Amino acid sequence: MDSLAIRLSAVTKRYGAVVALDRVDLSVAAREFVALVGGSGSGKTTLLKTINGLIRPDAGEVRVTGEDVAATQAHLLRRRIGYVFQEVGLFPHLTVAENIAITPKLLRWDSARIGDRVTTLLKLVALPQGVAGRAPSALSGGQRQRVGVARALAAEPAVMLMDEPFGALDPVTRDALGVDYRALHQRLGLTTIMVTHDIAEAVLLADRIVVLDRGVVQADGAPRDLLMSSRNPIVRALLEAPKRQAERLRERLGA
C-alpha cells in the first residue's frame, strides 16, 4: 500500500475555457493536517472534490490510501473519506441521530452498532446525548456543524475533507470548533485537508499550508517556513494578512 494518505499527480480539470486545476501535484502523509488556501476561483473546492470522486479530473491521477479514486466504487470511497462543508447539509426531516447514522445504514451496520456509534460520536464532538432525538432546526449553528462533523466521522474514515467548515459561524464559535476539531484530528489519527479563506485559521490549525492561485500550486509548506522564505507576492500577501490585521487591532485599541 502507498505510504501516503492522499496523492494527486498532474491533476487537471477544465470547465470550458477555464482551467480550474492545472497539473496539480500534491502529497499528504497520514495524520497530516493541510490547509488549502487561495482566492475565490483558485480551484480549492474543485481539488477537494477530485479527492472524494465528486469531480473527475480531465487528466492526472488521484489516489487515496494507495487506491486510484477513478477505479474505486463510490460506496467504498465514501467509507474511507469523511466530508464536511459550510452549509452542513443535515436532512431537516431526520433527527440528529438519524442524520449521523446515514452512512452506517448504507453500509448495513446492525442497529446496536449504529446506536453505539451515534452515542460515541456525540461525545466526541462535545454534544449532549439529549440532542440525538431533536431535529436539526432545534440546534444552534455551531451545534449543527458539530453534527456535520459527527456524521462525516460515522463510518470511521481515515481521511477528512473540510470545505470552509466553520465559515458561516460567529468568530467565537468558529474558534472553539476549530480548536476542538484539531484535537479530534490528533486523537483519532486522521488525515485532514481543510479549505479555508481565513488565513489565521489555517496558520493556527494546520501543519502545512498549500496556496492555490488559478489552479496552480504557488506554495506548499509549514506556515512559518512559507512566511519566512516565500518571495511569491501572492503567497506573502495571503500569509501576512493576519499580521497586518493584528497590527491594526493593536493601533485601534491603543495597545
Structure confidence by residue, pLDDT tens digits, 114-128: 999 999 999 999 999
* Cβ proximity of 11 and 61 under 8 Å: yes
**55 in a domain, yes or no?**
yes
Let me know if 216 is exposed, middle or buried by CB neighbors in 10 A (0-12, 13-18, 19+). Answer: middle
Domain housing 200? 33-59+74-253
Tally of structural domains, the chain: 1
CATH at 83: 3.40.50.300
Q: Is 20 within the bounds of a domain?
A: no
d(CA 123, CA 142): 15
CA–CA dist 164, 172 (Å, integer)? 16
Q: How far is CA 115 from CA 131, 134, 211, 217, in A?
A: 14, 15, 41, 43
Q: What is the pLDDT of residue 3?
A: 74
- Give a yes or no: residue 5 inside a domain: no
Per-residue pLDDT tens listing for the chain (255 residues): 457 899 999 999 999 999 999 999 999 999 999 999 988 889 999 999 999 999 999 999 999 999 999 998 877 787 789 999 877 789 999 999 999 999 999 889 999 999 999 999 999 999 999 999 999 999 999 999 999 999 999 999 999 999 988 877 888 888 999 999 999 999 999 999 999 988 888 988 999 999 999 999 999 999 888 877 777 777 777 777 777 777 777 777 876
Q: Is residue 52 situated within a structural domain?
A: yes
pLDDT at 101 (0 to 100): 95
Going by DSSP bridges, is the β-strand pair 4-15/59-64 parallel, antiparallel, or unpaired? antiparallel
Length of the chain: 255
22 falls within a domain: no
pLDDT given at position 13: 97
Predicted TM-score of the model (pTM): 0.89
Asked whether residue 28 is assigned to any structural domain, the reply reads: no
Domain for residue 224, yes or no?
A: yes
In a domain, 14, yes or no: no
